[in-house]
Amino acid sequence: MRPILLQGHERSLTQIKYNRDGDLIFSTAKDQIVSVWYSANGERLGTYSGHQGALWTVDVNPTTTLLATGAADNTIKIWDVQTGRCLKTWDFPTAVKRVEFSEDGTLLLAVTEMRMGYLGTVVVFPIVNDVNAPQADTPVLRITFEQSKGTVAAWSALNKHIVVGHEDGSVSLYDSKTGEQLANEQIHEPDMLITDIQMAPDRTYFVTASKDKSAKLVETSTLKVLKTYATDTPLNSAAITAKKDFVILGGGQEARDVTTTSAREGRFEARFFHKIFEDEIGRVRGHFGPLNTVACHPQGTGYASGGEDGYVRVHHFDQPYFDFMYEVEKMTRNQQIV
Amino acid sequence: MAPSRDYDEDENIDFSDLVEQFEVRLDEGLDKFVVVDGCPIVTDEQKPKLIKVLCKRLGEAGRINVDGIFMPVDDATGKTSGYCFLEYDTPEQALAACKRLNGLPLDKKHTLWINKLTDIEQYGREGRIQEEFVPPPEKQFEEQEHLRSWLSDPQARDQFAMYRGDHVGVFWNKKKDAPEPAVDREHWTESFIQWSPQGTFLTSIHAQGVQLWGGPSWKRIRRFAHPAVNLVDFSPNEGYLVTWSHRPIQIPEILPPNFPLSADEDGKNFIIWDVKTGKVVRSFASIDEPETPGPEKGRKKIQWPSFKWSSDDKYVARCVPGQAIQVYETPSMTLLGKKSIKIEGVVDFEWQPAIPTTGKGKPQTEQLFAYWTPEMNNQTARAGLMSIPSKEIVRTRNLVNVSDCKLHWQNGGKYLCVKVDRHTKTKKSNYTSLEFFRVTEKDIPVEIVELKQVVVNFAWEPKGDRFVFITIDEAIAGAAVAPKTNIHFYAPEKTKSGAIGEFSCVKIVEKKNHNAIYWSPRGRIVVVATVHSQQSFDLDFYDFDFEGEKQKQEHAAPGKELAANLLLMATGEHYGVTDVEWDPTGRYVATSASAWKQQSENGYHLFDFKGAVLREEPIDRFKQFLWRPRPPSLLSKEEMKKIRKNLREYSKVFDEEDELEATMANKEVVEYRMRLLTEWRNWRERVTEELMIDREAYGWKPPVEEEPIEDGEVVEEIVEEVIMETEEEVE
């Protein structure tokens, strides 16, 4: 598995997304540039420039026509994927930490930072999937966090709910129509920031990553923890692989702590865990800073990781990856064939 | 208004207990009086003489009013009754007399017991003491738990204790697999844990004192109340316990009920306890040492253990630096021969850890200790051996140019190595010589190994005749890197008679960073390690009796053969290792990185004796890893020999058991995974179905089915490469 190193960014990566077909990779970094790459060979297709601050987040709609980005310049921008034209800019009082299109692409959620007297919020905008149509100016929903601010958020299936990961290690479920909080569960250690939430393909469960050095697989409708993946390092990102039952976790000693501790490896590795058995299966080295984001190819043929070191590493899985199977998985597969 | 009830004034309520409790005790003027019991019974004529003696002895606590002495004479016999009343000047003096002089030996036959007169009144008042003796009810015999039950583990596994975070647990060693907990408790100790030397008790340390735990249920066996205790130490046979606190014990003047300590302990730092009864045997104050000058000023360093035990628990001794060694006899805890042994200048001493059973000299019957004195008053430094209880010096050796000495006994007591750090006459450079006392041979001959460098660490092979030491290169002034170290391996030469020949170098490994030596408790294997280091953290496993090809002995004298075949078996590493410990059977080595000494990557690693890693477990806030010691084997030499002879058969059985366990475990794992997989698939099925129903209800079309891309999509990539670019000028 020889990775392709994407050296287009000059500062640390913040988020990576594959489009639905998996042929394109969108990446954001603190250098104010959004890049788009061919996933097959790592060639850069182009950039979207216009933001005035570090970019925190990116998402592409299901038809790969619209791109949403959120940045530290307190704006969300909608771009025409094909031409790189900025279609819409929404201004906020604080930075935007996370954006995500809903399953059908008709809604966009965004998480805004709590700062300078403003509370953290989640806002939802309606989206018209047409590069020439005007977009709405005001959100249809605004959820304000009175207690612990939200750090990440994601859509459930059928746009029914919004799942929010909080700074205090809890996850809550909101009704996406009313904004009412339906549930709140302390699934990670108290006061351990949740750094990432990524949905499974059908959005019935999701994986969380936390600074408490663990990742959890959670059922969306009940917020029940299904699986726990324990590691020895703070995690920044977690992704669920398609095709194989794995999760990929990324993290590492925080950059600011590296110099204060030993000069030894800071565990800057992508870790593969078996989704069902919770065992660690393997690690992929390569980054020389903590992994800030990992993303899986929607067809499960590869993954990409972005690090504090400013590089994106795109991996295509080899045949042995697909052949690898636990004894019990082989047994049951044979049974199913019979 | 609250409901009220008229109380009948005459109603007989017995509140005498309250009256007694809160009764104001008027100063009766009797506080100055004490009752002295245990006086010799004398005739009227001898009385003045006795009174004089008593006044002299008891005058220590304060001034005695001579006229106020009342010693009743029994009219029937014309003799005194063996007690008298004394009056001191002040109540404080009387109290001091009770505290300090109670139990004062007057002569061989008589011991004085002093009590306050008011106490006699208070406790001996009529009705308080029953006239007739009622024997205390005999307690039913209660079967106690077997304190050594862990030794009867059918697989002879060893236990270890781990202290991490706030939890202390005892675990069975399961080699590669996660250790099986025997017990795990939160906040079991407040500072650290310690095993007793034979593994019977686990010691926990608290602000109030020390507690011992044991038996299969891990219940509390004993508690020893020593406020603000800092350190504990056991006697080798677990008969006694020494506790120490840097704060002198303060005993309140009026003892609360059930107070575990008595006035004797006031101002003391050390307490020696009887482990079986839990009672104080004797307490001691610290010896005030002159404060060390320099940066350590004001912080006194304690040498621990301060009280050192002879191998049979019979004697305990401590050193009064520069002056003497105090040897106390158990169980009376009195000074041997009522005197401390004066050894001018004495710095340190060390008991012989065991009495050797073999040897050509006459069999040793007494306990030995080694000591050393520095150069002083035109006298050379000296190392000596003293025999106890006869206090006879059996051997001394004069040493010159000594800066420091360390005493290293071989654990069988067969040899003593005195590591003498010396300086050249100009005091510019330092070097070390090792002086070996062969205790079991006639007249205790001394053999010397002289070195050009300083020895920083020395270790005997347990029960063996070989040793390893580490020398350090001279530090280069201003260099950032620590000086390199060299590892020296020594063994005796083989002789025809079978006697132990001269010690000779087997091998020197140069330019290493190692600083610590850990011998297997069974000998033969030694681990040389670098601990407490930021830069290196390697472990080398050496076998002294490699059974394969003969290794070259380049340092042996020509024509001599050494009793060793040394081989480096394996090297390992453990980042940030601070502690290395062999299990008591010599089968495993645990290395740990303790959060007390460094912050990153705390946890432990487990190696087998060959140096292969069995298990690595990082644990946050990991503090201590301690193997549970084992008591000495009960098997006789013949029985051991028999086992060794039939080892192959035994190991076959164990191998089979291991294999069985492995397959069982495998089966369990497979079943467990099977269950997980089925659960997961069932859950998925249910959720997918629910989602489908929901979708229809919402009127959503089924999601765009991902068309399976068979054989992968073909991505056509057109790469244009400029191979050559030439520029031609065309006219």
Q: Residue B128 above 50 pLDDT?
A: yes
The count of other CB atoms within 10 Å of the CB of residue B290 is: 8
Tokens standing for residue B178? 């996660």
The region of weakest confidence among A326-335, B36-45, B276-285, B695-704 is B695-704
Over residues A118-147, the mean pLDDT reads: 91
Those residues with Cβ within 8 angstroms of residue B386's Cβ, 6 or more apart along the chain or in another chain: B341, B368, B369, B370, B371, B392, B393, B394
Is A277 near chain B, with CB under 8 Å?
yes
Nearest to B407 by CA among B483, B325, B487: B325
Residue of A nearest to B700 (CA): A158
Confidence of residue A152 (pLDDT cuts 50, 70, 90): very high
Q: Residue B271 above 60 pLDDT?
A: yes
Name the percent of chain B lying above pLDDT 70. 91
- What pLDDT does residue B341 have? 92
Domain coordinates in residue numbering, chain A? 4-337
CB B81 within 8 A of CB B70: no
Residues in A touching B601 (Cβ below 8 Å)? 262, 264
Is A157 near chain B, with CB under 8 Å?
yes
Q: Residue B704 above 60 pLDDT?
A: no
Q: Which CATH class is domain A4-337?
A: mainly beta
Tokens standing for residue B296? 């350590």
Distance CA A299, CA A297 (A): 5
Structural domains in chain B (count): 1
Q: Is residue B293 one of the residues assigned to a domain?
A: no
CB contact under 8 A, A301 and B712: yes
Nearest-Cα distance to chain A for B478, in Å, is: 23
Confidence of residue B262 (pLDDT cuts 50, 70, 90): confident
Tokens standing for residue B45? 């004529």
Is A103 near chain B, with CB under 8 Å?
yes
Confidence of residue B459 (pLDDT cuts 50, 70, 90): very high
Distance CA A57, CA B524 (A): 62
Mutate to test the interface with B, among A328, A329, A336 (most CBs of B within 10 A): A328
Residues in B touching A205 (Cβ below 8 Å)? 687
Q: Is B124 exposed, middle or buried (0-12, 13-18, 19+ CB in 10 A)?
A: exposed
Confidence of residue B381 (pLDDT cuts 50, 70, 90): very high
Residues in A touching B599 (Cβ below 8 Å)? 261
CB contact under 8 A, B717 and A226: no
The count of other CB atoms within 10 Å of the CB of residue B395 is: 18
Residues in A touching B534 (Cβ below 8 Å)? 262
> pLDDT higher for B717 or B404?
B404
CB A335 within 8 A of CB B674: no
Over residues B582-595, the mean pLDDT reads: 93
CB-defined contacts A:B, below 8 A? 60
CB contact under 8 A, B700 and A158: yes
- What pLDDT does residue A262 have? 47
Is B666 near chain A, with CB under 8 Å?
no
Residues in B touching A336 (Cβ below 8 Å)? none
CB contact under 8 A, A262 and B575: yes
Distance CA B372, CA B393 (A): 12
Q: Residue A236 above 90 pLDDT?
A: yes
Nearest-Cα distance to chain B for A222, in Å, is: 12
Over residues A179-202, the mean pLDDT reads: 93
Residue of B nearest to A231 (CA): B618
Q: Is residue B72 one of the residues assigned to a domain?
A: yes
Radius of gyration of the CA atoms of chain A, in A = 19
Residues in B touching A38 (Cβ below 8 Å)? 715
- What pLDDT does residue B130 have? 73
What's at A12, amino acid-wise? S
Q: Is A20 exposed, middle or buried (0-12, 13-18, 19+ CB in 10 A)?
A: middle
Q: Is residue B483 one of the residues assigned to a domain?
A: no
End-to-end CA distance of chain A: 33
Nearest-Cα distance to chain B for A280, in Å, is: 14
CB contact under 8 A, A326 and B712: no
Q: Residue A240 above 80 pLDDT?
A: yes
What's chain A's length in residues?
A: 338
* CB nearest A328 (choices: B673, B687, B698): B673
Give the three-state DSSP class for B144: coil
Q: Which domain holds residue B91?
A: 25-124
Residues in B touching A301 (Cβ below 8 Å)? 712
Give the ipTM: 0.87
CB contact under 8 A, B576 and A262: yes
DSSP A214-275: EEEEEETTT--EEEEEE-SS-EEEEEEPSSSSEEEEEE-S-HHHHTTS-SS-----EEEEET
**Per the omega criterion (within 30 degrees of 0), is the bond before B305 cis?**
yes
- What pLDDT does residue A270 have? 92
The count of other CB atoms within 10 Å of the CB of residue A208 is: 25
- What pLDDT does residue B350 have? 94
Confidence of residue B561 (pLDDT cuts 50, 70, 90): confident
Name the percent of chain B lying above pLDDT 90. 42
* CB nearest A204 (choices: B687, B703, B715): B687
Over residues A107-133, the mean pLDDT reads: 91
The region of weakest confidence among B71-75, B157-161, B325-329, B692-696 is B71-75
What's at B717, amino acid-wise? E
Distance CA B680, CA A288 (A): 36
Residues in B touching A298 (Cβ below 8 Å)? 706
Those residues with Cβ within 8 angstroms of residue A41's Cβ, 6 or more apart along the chain or in another chain: A4, B715, B717
- What pLDDT does residue A263 have? 43
Distance CA B101, CA B686 (A): 86
pLDDT tens-place string over residues B213-244: 999 999 999 999 998 999 999 999 999 999 99
> pLDDT higher for B672 or B4?
B672
Is B698 near chain A, with CB under 8 Å?
yes
Let me know the angle formed at the C-alpha of B480 by B474 and B484, rounded to the nearest 5 degrees. 40
Is B695 near chain A, with CB under 8 Å?
yes
CB contact under 8 A, B703 and A103: yes
Q: Residue B207 above 80 pLDDT?
A: yes
pLDDT tens-place string over residues B511-541: 999 999 999 999 999 999 999 887 888 999 9
Tokens standing for residue B261? 């300590």
Nearest-Cα distance to chain A for B680, in Å, is: 7
Nearest to B253 by CA among B87, B34, B125, B98: B98
CATH number at residue B84: 3.30.70.330
Half-sphere exposure of B574 (CA within 13 A, CB side): 31
CB B370 within 8 A of CB B409: yes
Nearest to B455 by CA among B400, B417, B401: B417
- What pLDDT does residue B296 have? 45
- What pLDDT does residue B360 have? 58
> pLDDT higher for B702 or B699?
B699
Is A40 near chain B, with CB under 8 Å?
yes
- What pLDDT does residue B428 have? 81
Residue with tokens 């109340």: B225
Residue with tokens 């913040």: A14
Distance CA B256, CA B241 (A): 25
Chain-wide mean pLDDT for chain B?
85
Q: State the SS3 of B214-271.
A: ECCCCEEEEEEECCCCCEEEECCCCCEEEEECCCCCCCCCCCCCCCCCCHHHCCCCEE
Is B673 near chain A, with CB under 8 Å?
yes
Over residues B86-102, the mean pLDDT reads: 80
Confidence of residue A337 (pLDDT cuts 50, 70, 90): very low
Over residues B316-323, the mean pLDDT reads: 91
- What pLDDT does residue B703 have? 54
Confidence of residue A338 (pLDDT cuts 50, 70, 90): very low
Is B692 near chain A, with CB under 8 Å?
no
Q: How do strand A75-80 and strand B567-573 relate by DSSP bridges?
A: unpaired
* CB nearest A332 (choices: B534, B601, B677): B677
Confidence of residue B679 (pLDDT cuts 50, 70, 90): very high
Nearest-Cα distance to chain B for A40, in Å, is: 7
The region of weakest confidence among B12-21, B419-428, B536-545, B550-559 is B12-21
- What pLDDT does residue A266 have? 64
- What pLDDT does residue B702 have? 56
pLDDT tens-place string over residues A257-307: 655 544 455 678 899 999 999 999 999 988 888 999 999 999 999 999 999
Q: How do strand A121-126 and strand B622-627 relate by DSSP bridges?
A: unpaired
Half-sphere exposure of B94 (CA within 13 A, CB side): 21
The region of weakest confidence among A27-31, A180-184, A233-237, B125-129 is B125-129
Q: Is residue B59 one of the residues assigned to a domain?
A: yes
Chain-wide mean pLDDT for chain A?
90
CB contact under 8 A, B600 and A262: yes
Is B600 near chain A, with CB under 8 Å?
yes
Residue of A nearest to B714 (CA): A40
Confidence of residue B379 (pLDDT cuts 50, 70, 90): confident
Is A86 near chain B, with CB under 8 Å?
no
> pLDDT higher for B426 or B206?
B206
Confidence of residue B10 (pLDDT cuts 50, 70, 90): low
- What pLDDT does residue A2 have? 83
Give, for B488, the enclosing helix (H) or strand (E): strand B485-494
Q: Phi and psi at residue B664, in whole multiples of 5°?
A: -60, -45
Q: Phi and psi at residue B637, in whole multiples of 5°?
A: -60, -40
Cα B573 to Cα A285, B174, B356, B589, B590: the distances in Å are 21, 21, 37, 12, 12
Q: Is residue B65 one of the residues assigned to a domain?
A: yes
- What pLDDT does residue A58 have? 96
* CB nearest B677 (choices: A40, A158, A328): A328
- What pLDDT does residue B198 have? 94
Is A225 near chain B, with CB under 8 Å?
no
DSSP B174-220: -TTSPPEEEEEEET--SS-EEE-TTSS-EEEEETTEEEEEETTTTEE
Distance of CA B439 to the CA centre of its chain: 27
CB A29 within 8 A of CB A310: yes
Confidence of residue B599 (pLDDT cuts 50, 70, 90): confident
Nearest to B586 by CA among B525, B652, B637: B525
Over residues B79-89, the mean pLDDT reads: 83
> pLDDT higher for A65 or A1?
A65
Those residues with Cβ within 8 angstroms of residue B467's Cβ, 6 or more apart along the chain or in another chain: B417, B458, B459, B460, B461, B490, B503
CB A108 within 8 A of CB A68: yes
CB contact under 8 A, A277 and B673: yes
Confidence of residue B408 (pLDDT cuts 50, 70, 90): very high
Residue of A nearest to B717 (CA): A41
- What pLDDT does residue B541 have? 95
The region of weakest confidence among A31-40, B493-502, B629-638 is B493-502
Residues in B touching A104 (Cβ below 8 Å)? 700
Distance CA A188, CA A235 (A): 12
* CB nearest B694 (choices: A158, A226, A328): A158
Residue with tokens 């069902």: A276
Residues in A touching B673 (Cβ below 8 Å)? 276-277, 326-328
